[in-house]
C-alpha cells in the first residue's frame, strides 16, 4: 500500500515538472518572439529614417564610412541601379579613351590658307603648294598633348616613330561661275603635301603627298572632294610638321573635314 502511494506521488511530481517545463518553454518562446518583433520594427523604422535622413549629405567622408545609415543607403542605391540597368537594358558607359602620351589633332579654321598664287613648281621657300598656317588646337575635337602648335606647324618634342595624318576638303565652283582663263590656270588636279622641317637642314623634306584629278562640275552645284593620307615617319626633337595644298583658294576649311595630326607610336 505504501509502495503504491509512493509511485503515484512520483508520477504526479514528474507530470508537474513536465508541465512546468512546457509552460516555461512556451513563455520563453512568446517573450523572445515579442523581442524579435520589437527589434524588427525598430530596425525597419531605423532603415526608413536612414532613407529620409537629410543630414547624411552633410557628413564628412570619414563619418560616411562608419555611419550605418550611409552604408544602408549606398547598398540600396547600388541594388536599385543594378536592377534598373538589367530591367531596361541600359548600356553601361564606355571607358573614356585616354589620350596618347605625345600627340595632337588640330582642325581647320576659316580663312586659314595663304592667298593663292600661280606657282606650280617648288617655291622659293623650298616647298610645293600653299601653306595652311592656322589650325585650331584647343577647342572642339582638337587637342594638343605634349606637342606645341606654332604658326600652323606641329613641333615634335621627342624622338620616335610617329603616325602622321592629314585631310583637306576642296569645294570647286561650277564651270558656269568661272571663265576659261581661270579654269586653265587652276586646272583640275588637287594635291596635298605633308612636310617635315628640320633644324639641321634648310629646305623642308616632303614626307607624303596625295593627288586627285577631278573634273570641274558642269551643273549649278559645286564639286566636293577630299584628300586624305597617313603614314609613319621617324622624327627628331624640334622637327616641325606642316601641310600645303595645290589649290588653297578652293579649300573649304570646315573643322570636321580638314584636320591634321600626329602621335608617337614608339
Mean predicted confidence (pLDDT) in 159-178 = 84
Q: What is the DSSP letter of 190?
A: E
Lookup result for grid cell 536612414: 50
**If pLDDT is split at 50, 70 and 90, which confidence band does 121 have?**
very low
- For residue 162, the tally of other CB atoms under 10 A from its CB is 26
Name the most confidently modeled range: 80-84, 205-209, 243-247.
205-209
pTM of the model: 0.58
Write the pLDDT tens digit of every residue in 71-118: 666 776 666 666 666 665 556 555 555 667 899 999 998 764 454 443
- C-alpha cell of residue 122: 617648288
Extract the C-alpha cell encoding 155.
613641333
C-alpha of 170 from chain center: 30
Listed in sequence order, the DSSP H helices in the chain are 2-51, 61-66, 68-88, 180-186
Closest alpha carbon to 130 in 68, 85, 195:
195
pLDDT of residue 185: 45
- The chain-wide mean pLDDT, for the chain, equals 76
> Residues 244, 263: contact at Cβ < 8 Å?
no
3-state SS assignment for residue 114:
coil
| Pick from 165, 164, 226, 160: nearest CA to 190 | 226
CB 120 within 8 A of CB 99: no
Cα gap 232→240, rounded to integer Å: 15
User: Averaged over 54-77, what is the pLDDT?
Assistant: 61
DSSP of 43-58, one letter per residue? HHHHHHHHHT-GGGGG
- Closest CA relative to residue 153, chosen from 236, 238, 241, 244: 241
How many other C-beta atoms lie within 10 A of the C-beta of residue 135?
26
Instruction: Determine the pLDDT at residue 103.
Output: 94
- Region 234-259: mean pLDDT is 90
- 215 annotated to a ligand binding site: yes
C-alpha cell at 35: 523581442
Q: Are 259 and 105 in contact (CB under 8 A)?
A: yes
Dump the DSSP string for 123-173. -TTS-SSEEB--EE-SSTT-EEES-EEETTEEEP-S-EEEEEEEEEEEEEP
Which CATH number is associated with domain 103-264? 2.60.120.40
Task: Of 44, 47, 38, give the one whose Cα is nearest residue 68.
Answer: 47
State the cell numbers at 125: 621657300
What single-letter DSSP state applies at residue 196? E
Task: Kindly report each contact of residues 39-45 with a partner whose C-beta sits within 8 Å and lies 24 or more positions away, as own/partner.
Answer: none
Amino acid at each position: 500500500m505504501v509502495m503504491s502511494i509512493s509511485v503515484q506521488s512520483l508520477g504526479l511530481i514528474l507530470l508537474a515538472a513536465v508541465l512546468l517545463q512546457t509552460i516555461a518553454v512556451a513563455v520563453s518562446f512568446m517573450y523572445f518572439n515579442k523581442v524579435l518583433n520589437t527589434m524588427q520594427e525598430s530596425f525597419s523604422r531605423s532603415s526608413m529614417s536612414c532613407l529620409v535622413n537629410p543630414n547624411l549629405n552633410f557628413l564628412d567622408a570619414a563619418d560616411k564610412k562608419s555611419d550605418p545609415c550611409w552604408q544602408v543607403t549606398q547598398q540600396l542605391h547600388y541594388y536599385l541601379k543594378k536592377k534598373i540597368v538589367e530591367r531596361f537594358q541600359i548600356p553601361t558607359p564606355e571607358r573614356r579613351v585616354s589620350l596618347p602620351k605625345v600627340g595632337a589633332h588640330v582642325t581647320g579654321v576659316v580663312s586659314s590658307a595663304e592667298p593663292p598664287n600661280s606657282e606650280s613648281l617648288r617655291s622659293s621657300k623650298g616647298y610645293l603648294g600653299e601653306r595652311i598656317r592656322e589650325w585650331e588646337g584647343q577647342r572642339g575635337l582638337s587637342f594638343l598633348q605634349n606637342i606645341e602648335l606654332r604658326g600652323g606647324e606641329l613641333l615634335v618634342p621627342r624622338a620616335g616613330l610617329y603616325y602622321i595624318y592629314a585631310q583637306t576638303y576642296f569645294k570647286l565652283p561650277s564651270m558656269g561661275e568661272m571663265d576659261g582663263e581661270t579654269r586653265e590656270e587652276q586646272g583640275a588636279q588637287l594635291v596635298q603635301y605633308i612636310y617635315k622641317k628640320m633644324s639641321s637642314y634648310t629646305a623642308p623634306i616632303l614626307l607624303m603627298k596625295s593627288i586627285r584629278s577631278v573634273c570641274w562640275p558642269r551643273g549649278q552645284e559645286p564639286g566636293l572632294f577630299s584628300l586624305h593620307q597617313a603614314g609613319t615617319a621617324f622624327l627628331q626633337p624640334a622637327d616641325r610638321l606642316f601641310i600645303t595644298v595645290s589649290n588653297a583658294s578652293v579649300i573649304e576649311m570646315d573643322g570636321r573635314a580638314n584636320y591634321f595630326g600626329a602621335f608617337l607610336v614608339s
